[in-house]
Structure 1
Amino acid sequence: MTWNSYGTYLIFVILVVLAPGPDTLVTLKNALSGGTRGGLLSTWGILIGNLLQGTAVGLGLGALIVRSQPLFLAVRWAGVVYLCYLGFQALRGAWRGDYRKLDEFGARSTSFRRWREGFLSNVTNPKVLALYLSVLPQFLDPGKTSAWDALVLAYTVAILGAVWLLVLVMLVHRVRAWLQRRRVRRSLDAVTGTALVGFGVALALEG
């Protein structure tokens, strides 16, 4: 792997990271309901999930998971169920609009719960694993590169993804007073919930 090829890879990764997905929505949800701390905990969970999946691919375990149809399907359907669960939670909040009770419940939410939501949204998403498996080989020379090169590429995705989520958390912090308005928050919950369920349905319908 050369610096030139790594530079090309960085451009591609930045474009992928900026595209909104389940991880982005889960982070925004927790940043809104749990403040900056909630967003940071979700980002930390997503980072760990990304690092685990990247390590699996770098060490050759990712291909084994994909080839094992029962295991891959189990991960896929776990992702479907979890995304839909989070989506329906957000939609229920938008429907009820009783954010005083929701905020009281959110204040009692444990740090582990917010971290877990981020971690599970990433690690149960087989698209992350598929991305690594489809993209990394295009930037690696089987005859010249090692597992370390694959890990560097995989960890680049995880780190840049975490940096982007941190930027989002800081942006939410800056405008949180406006986002906390009942009408705005209900609209955000409705959009977030619909998008999360949509991601879950799309994942379920994939062949």
Structure 2
Amino acid sequence: MLTSLLGFTLVAAVLTVSPGPDFAVVLRTALGSGRRAALCSALGIAAGCFVWGLAGAVGLTAMLAASTTAYDVLRVAGALYLMWLGIQALRSARRLRTDGAQEAGAAPAAARGRSRDGEGPRPATPLRALRTGLLTNVLNPKVGVVYMSLLPQFIPHGAPVLATTLLLVAVHAALGVLWLGGIAVAVHRARAVFQRPRIRRRLDQATGGVLLALGAAVGFETAR
């Protein structure tokens, strides 16, 4: 069992650090709403891992993989959600540019007050950030398919399937929280730099473009 656990940990670590929607969502949340909301977003993503793990353990993931219609419905829903997040990021970048132009002639004190209050959309609450992370993961059918094909390879013969599945998922979720949480903390520590209007605008444009591209890639994925 220990050998299987160590092997899975190595594979899960590679999957965790691979760039994807989770990374973009947490980065975007950290930039717009701070460390606490970003950590909640990471916890929501981890909760989504458990949803898929339980679904795989009871056979729902296999049903999803076997049904092209069900897979495509979930895939399109996930694609639209990612693209909506991307549009929100691009709208935030546009508002930052507009606000910056409007404040060009404002008094320094007024500009400082505006910066303190934040720009663009209102920061996400921890609960909203948690929901965003959860939906980002749950609406991505690829996570379920990966779990369905990967987890059984690391469940030793004779081991309890449900308990072992949850243990493996817990390892993956813990790695995800550590990695994404580290990103949230790093962004928070460099907040003074990232919150400069020009840099913040460029980062919003970049994350928005990435989320739109990821959503489009998922949405136009070739039928299985």
- What TM-score does the superposition give when structure 1 sets the normalisation length? 0.90
* 1:124 maps onto 2:132 in alignment: no
State how far apart, in whole Å, the 2-side matches of 1:195 and 1:105 are. Answer: 19
Percent identity between matched residues is 39
1:185 is aligned, of 188, 200, 217, to 200
Aligned to 1:41: 40
TM-superposition CA deviations, 1:130-172 (whole Å, max 9, x none): 111121122234x423212222112221221112111111111
Aligned to 1:92: 91
* 1:103 maps onto 2:119 in alignment: yes
Which amino acid in 1 is paired with 2:119?
D
Report the alpha carbon displacement of residue 5 of structure 1 after superposing the two structures with TM.
Answer: 2.4
* 1:27 maps onto 2:26 in alignment: yes
Which amino acid in 2 is paired with 1:103?
E
Aligned to 2:56: 57
* 1:138 maps onto 2:153 in alignment: yes
Cα gap change, 1:43 to 1:95, in 2 (>3 Å): same
* 1:173 maps onto 2:172 in alignment: no
Residues 26 and 184 in structure 2, CA contact (< 8 A), matched pair in contact too: yes
State how far apart, in whole Å, the 1-side matches of 2:204 and 2:186 are. Answer: 17
Cα gap change, 1:157 to 1:197, in 2 (>3 Å): same
2:215 is aligned, of 194, 200, 207, to 200
- Please identify the structure whose Cα radius of gyration is greater: 2
Report the alpha carbon displacement of residue 35 of structure 1 after superposing the two structures with TM.
Answer: 0.9
Report the alpha carbon displacement of residue 42 of structure 1 after superposing the two structures with TM.
Answer: 1.1
Off by >6 Å, runs of 4+ in structure 1: none
Alignment of 1:72-91 (within 5 A): 72-91=71-90
Cα gap change, 1:131 to 1:14, in 2 (>3 Å): same
The number of residue pairs the alignment matches comes to 204
Q: CA RMSD in A?
A: 1.9
State how far apart, in whole Å, the 1-side matches of 2:164 and 2:127 are. Answer: 33
State how far apart, in whole Å, the 2-side matches of 1:96 and 1:60 are. Answer: 46
- What TM-score does the superposition give when structure 2 sets the normalisation length? 0.83
Residues 92 and 204 in structure 2, CA contact (< 8 A), matched pair in contact too: yes
State how far apart, in whole Å, the 1-side matches of 2:9 and 2:91 are. Answer: 39
